[in-house]
Structure 1
Amino acid sequence: MSALRLAVITAGLTQPSSTRLLADRLTEATVAALAPREVVVEVVEVRDVAHDLTNHVLTGFASPELQVRLDAIAEADAVIVATPVYAASYSGLFKMLVDVLPKDSLRDTPVLLGATGGTARHSLAIDHALRPLFAHLGALVAPVAVFAASEDWGSVDAGSLGARIERAGTALARLLLGNAAPERSDPFEDVTPFAALLGELHG
């Protein structure tokens, strides 16, 4: 069975970056949820090709370094995106990358959305900015997305952010594999028929 290809787009501008940290945690959760399937992860750090993106927008030609990253996204079986929120929306650098992706490259591709911001007030950017963007691109957007505010990182392992990351990774894995949620066992499935019980009583 061939390995699954997972592209991870992270649009943080600083190093270290909470956006990259969120992308890494979402990747770990997704890979764990896909086990035992082999997963090949390709991380696209948008800040590394910022100048190439500008040149591509102006000239229509991608540098070899940028083309490698665009190909990784277009050929991926699933994509994780993480962007900082600026002015109640995704970053301009992130949008530049999306703008130069090949037409229909994300159509029918499962995509997991993540975003970071200073406070929880920015969390609505996922629903009013990111979801419509990827719906327009024809992507299959995972139902669970993750927004991480600055105060969330203190409880990333044991608190709500850690749980949300795990749920999001599981949701993307199910979307990628086409699996529905596991069926719950019916406690009444193996009940002894009433006629048999009567027979035992009369016996």
Structure 2
Amino acid sequence: MNERTIVAISAGLGQPSSTRLLADRLTEATTAELASRNVGARVETIELRGIAHEIVNAMLTGFPTGSLREALDTMTAADGLVLVSPLFTTTYSGLFKSFIDVIDKDSLTGMPVLLGATGGTARHSLALEYSMRPLLTYLRADVVPTSVFAATDDWSGEVDTVNPLPARIRRAGKELADRVAERPADGAAGLYDDVPSFDQMLRGI
């Protein structure tokens, strides 16, 4: 049985973070659905707050290095992605957008992607559709139909009739699992393997 890799990208700024919590719930729903089909899966989670400095450096130099380069290779070799950002002023965070900006424009073509976002109030839930989805569609990712927004109050209960968040998470996880299960489990090589480091460029290597 070939194992599939689900990579979660969390752009949460706090620790602990509701953004990371949502990313965990979405990957759990996806892997549970894959397991029900006898498809093995492992999860790798990347928290952007830990590589924020490397992201800024890559924006300035044009070349990813260190932990950021490893994160990009992990992401592009995945069978499916879960991308979750907090919302600020009705759109994704600056950290999330900066990370997207340093991704090779062709690296997510056809990649199954599940989108999630967190915020203080449900009034901003449509930001997933008018900002995050177009951004990933531009990169030609295969974005699943159901996106998941979690407001602060959504974490207060788990009963579906009172709180629709658990059911929406399950539905989104099933959609991502559908796309992942259809893909060959051979894994892509890292797209940044041949990119020289900034130090090597300065030395003329």
**Does TM, scored on the shorter chain, surpass 0.5?**
yes
- Which range moves more in the overlay, 1-10 or 156-165? 156-165
Superposition RMSD in Å: 1.3
Residue in structure 2 matched with residue 73 of structure 1 by the alignment? 75
Q: Secondary structure at the match of 1:27?
A: helix
User: After the TM superposition, which residues 16-165 of structure 1 pair with which residues of structure 2 at under 5 Å, given as runs?
Assistant: 16-35=16-35, 36-156=38-158, 158=160, 159-165=163-169
Gaps of at least 5 residues in structure 1 are: 180-203
Alpha-carbon distance in 1 for matches of 2:170, 2:159: 10
Q: Secondary structure at the match of 1:55?
A: helix
Alpha-carbon distance in 2 for matches of 1:64, 1:123: 34
Contact 2:30-2:177 within 8 A present in 1 as well: yes
The percentage of counterpart residues that share the same residue type is 51
Alpha-carbon distance in 1 for matches of 2:112, 2:4: 12
Q: Which has the higher contact order (CA 8 A, sep 6+)?
A: 2
Residue in structure 2 matched with residue 178 of structure 1 by the alignment? 182
Gaps of at least 5 residues in structure 2 are: 184-205
Q: Give the 4+ runs in structure 1 shifted more than 4 A.
A: none
Contact 1:74-1:102 within 8 A present in 2 as well: no
1:3 partner letter: E
> Relative to structure 1, is the Cα distance of residues 157 and 58 closer, same or farther in structure 2, using a 3 angstrom cutoff?
farther
1:175 partner letter: R
Alpha-carbon distance in 2 for matches of 1:50, 1:40: 25
Residue in structure 2 matched with residue 196 of structure 1 by the alignment? none
Contact 2:12-2:85 within 8 A present in 1 as well: yes
Contact 2:31-2:42 within 8 A present in 1 as well: no
In the TM superposition, residue 40 of structure 1 has moved relative to its aligned partner by 2.0
Contact 2:55-2:98 within 8 A present in 1 as well: yes
Q: Secondary structure at the match of 2:125?
A: helix
1:57 partner letter: M
In the TM superposition, residue 108 of structure 1 has moved relative to its aligned partner by 0.3
Alpha-carbon distance in 2 for matches of 1:26, 1:156: 15
> TM-score, with normalisation over the residues of structure 2?
0.84
Alpha-carbon distance in 1 for matches of 2:8, 2:82: 5
In the TM superposition, residue 38 of structure 1 has moved relative to its aligned partner by 1.3
1:18 partner letter: S
